[in-house]
Amino acid sequence: MEIKLLTELQELDSENPSSWPNSVKMFFIVMVAIFTLGLGYYLFVNDELSTLERETAKEQTLRKTYRLKHSLAANLGDYRAQMEILEIQLATMLKKLPAGHETPGLLDDITFVATHSGLKIVSITWGDEQEKEFYTELPLDIDVEGRYHEFGRFVSEIANLPRIVSLHDFDITAIEKSKELKLKIVAKTYRYKEMEAEK
């Protein structure tokens, strides 16, 4: 079959295609059709397919964005209620931060807590204020002497003060020729910067 087709192709009269055998005509028609389809696909369809893929990817992104925004909108009431609760909690916490005129009172409270716990106060002094982004840190260097359980009572009562006080950098050492210990600790309280602006 292939030899016959090759022989027919060699004997073709290029100036008279109507005289070509039917098998050769069909071969050329199929070849022209394949070439036309391939060229058409390359020139027109290929670019459109790339555009379709881009648009499909964009559609998926837009669908995800829509679902996220729809979820946020559907829960807007809940978010507002949570926001109100958080604002109340923030206001409550801010009330626990001492204003500038209240820091001497806080020093008195800590002195009272130390003596009430049975500790002997060696020194309590304010350190340098540390400016942070939203608040000012007020360190208080505390040096007391007493027994281990008295230290525990002191720390517990500090936690129960109405103002926020955190304890840091504690160091307990034995006092020579004594059953008592020495506690050095840094108590930090905080002042919110908006409070400072309001003063």
**Residue 150: predicted pLDDT:** 92
Condensed to tens digits (0 to 9), the pLDDT of residues 45-90 reads 777 777 888 888 899 999 999 988 888 888 888 888 888 898 888 7
The pLDDT of residue 126: 87
Q: Is CATH 3.30.70.60 correct for 98-198?
A: yes
Q: What pLDDT does 199 receive?
A: 47
Residue 12 has phi, psi (to 5 degrees) of -70, 145
pLDDT at 106: 79
Q: Which uninterrupted H or E stretch holds 91?
A: helix 76-95
Contact 184, 142 (CB under 8 A): yes
Q: 């925004």: which residue's tokens?
A: 69
Domain boundaries, the chain: 1-74, 98-198
And the tokens for 72?
């946020």
Q: What are phi and psi of 117, to 5 degrees?
A: -80, -5
pLDDT score, position 131: 85
Rounded to whole angstroms, the Cα distance separating 25 from 19 reads: 9
Residues in the chain with pLDDT values less than 50:
195-199
Give the number of other Cβ atoms within 10 Å of residue 154's Cβ.
24
